[in-house]
Each structure stands twice: as C-alpha cells, then as structure tokens.
Amino acid sequence: MRHIGLKIRMAVVGAILASFYLVAIAAAMVAFGQGVLPIAIVGSLLLVGVQYKIGKWVALRSVGAEDLPENQYSQIHQFVEQVCRDKNMKKPSLKIANMGVPNAFAVGRRGNGTVVISRELIQLLDRNELEGVVAHELAHIDNRDVVTMQLGQGIASIVAIVVQYIVLFTGDNDLADFFLAIVVGNLVQFLVMLFVLAISRYREYVADADAKGVIGGGEPLARALEKIHQGNQQAQQSPQHDRGRVRNDRRRDANVDQQVSALCISSPDRGFLQKIVSTHPPMEKRIQRLRS
C-alpha cells in the first residue's frame, strides 16, 4: 500500500480534528440553540473555501510569480511533463519569481496546481539537483498536501471562532470577556494546529521519498537541500551595508518568510519551541533520510 505510514497518521490526526470540530459545533448548539447548526456548517465550508482561494492568490502575488518561459527553461518543462505522465496527473502551471533566496513551493490541488521556482534556485543548483526539488514539489501536489493543510488550518480557525463566540456571549459581554475570548480562542487554535503541523512535517518526509523515487536516488535532492540551507543562512547573515544596497530584495525576502515560508521546500531551523510549531522537519534529518 502506497504511503501506509502517512495514511495511518492522517487517519489519527483526521479523527482528532473531526473531534475538535464536532465538539465545537455541539458546544455552539448548546450555547446558541439548534438553529445555529446549518449556519455553522455553511460558514465552515465558506471559510475553508475562501482561505484556500485567497491563500493561493496571496502566495503567488507575494513573490511576484510569473510564468516560467518554456523556450528559456525547456528542460524544466520537459521534466515536469514526464513526471506528470508517469503519475497520471495534469501538468501544473510553472512559475518563476525573485524570492531573494533559493527556494521553491507548490500551491493548489491535483489537476489545478502551481509550482513556483525562484531564480536564485535555478542559478544555484545543477540539473539533477533542480529536478529533485521540482519532483518534491510535484509530490506535494500529487499527494494533495496543500489542500489537506488548508483543511486542517480551516478547522483550527473554525474551532477558535466558535470558542471565542461562546466565551464572549455566554459571559457578561463586557471588555474583559472580549479579551478573554481572544486569549482562549488563540490558545485553542494553537492546540489544534499542533496536530496539523505534526502531519505537515511528516508530509515533507513523504515528498522527499517520492522525489527520491522519481529521480532514482536521494543524493541530488540531499545536495540541493544543503545548498538551499546554506543559501538561506547566507542571506540572513549578509552584512548590513549589503542589506542596504539590496533593500528591495530584503523586503521581498521578508515578505516570502511571512507569506509562503510554510509552503517552501526549506524553512529556517530554529529553537525547540519553534521546531514543534514548524511546518518542516529539521533539515539535517531530511538529508540523513535521503542518503540512508
């Protein structure tokens, strides 16, 4: 069975998220009456749908993504077409962007996906390494990772909103209840997101493994991840006068960190608390698995 480990984890996390959602809806019905049920269900679907559409638009717009010219980058297009034929999936849109750092990310769903590659990444990697990165992003689309993550984030938002309304309207409805509702809602959302982020980190391992199978080995992607990690570190540690000289690039880099860091193939390795709320596993562990 393909990705049985991922399916088991998804079943467990899915059951937990469904429990959070059902408890939140049940609590809303108790607090506001059974008439709230259709409103809650329709509102949930609309929220997830709007988050998905806006999220994709914001991610592409934030990096200024443009179509990847086929006449200039024919090898990339040919590689994607071959992988998509093998996977029996529609070729996603390919775009290029100036991100200020070497990176790539995928948005959308299977049949309507988009892969964005930074110019810095194309300049940094050789052909085999670049194909490993592109194969990783295609795996995210093939495995419906973006849609799954958006659904999980949507459930976390719904649960938080329900909790906030319950706290606000079942109390004295004063300023203290307003701030309490914000605090409690954020804490509940953080708790739910811990499960979503845990499955996100495992999905990175699965995408790495899929890419390894596509390119016939893990070494090219492992080298690519090392170069990407080093490139990101150098960008973060660039001298102050260099940052002033390329101020616009640094602003775009900060925007990438805020808007699409969770989607990119690489995200910064940080302290323990930041690692448990990260969308990506530690880089050294990913490289070790690829070379094992």
- State the Cα–Cα distance between residues 100 and 231, nearest whole angstrom: 10
Catalytic residues: 137
Rounded to a whole number of angstroms, the CA Rg of the chain reads 21
Report the SS3 class of residue 123: helix
- State the Cα–Cα distance between residues 227 and 224, nearest whole angstrom: 5
- State the Cα–Cα distance between residues 60 and 101, nearest whole angstrom: 16
Residue 182 amino acid letter: I
Tokens encoding 140: 């995210």
Report the SS3 class of residue 110: coil
- Among all chains, which residue has been given the structure tokens 């990119």? 264
- State the Cα–Cα distance between residues 154 and 48, nearest whole angstrom: 5
Alpha carbon distance, N-terminus to C-terminus of the chain? 22
Query: Which stretch of DSSP H or E encloses residue 170?
Result: none
For CA atoms 283, 216, 90, 99, the dihedral sign is positive
Give every CB contact of residue 181 below 8 A, 6+ residues apart in sequence: 163, 164, 165, 167, 168
- State the Cα–Cα distance between residues 172 and 178, nearest whole angstrom: 10
On the CB side of 4, CA atoms within 13 Å amount to 1
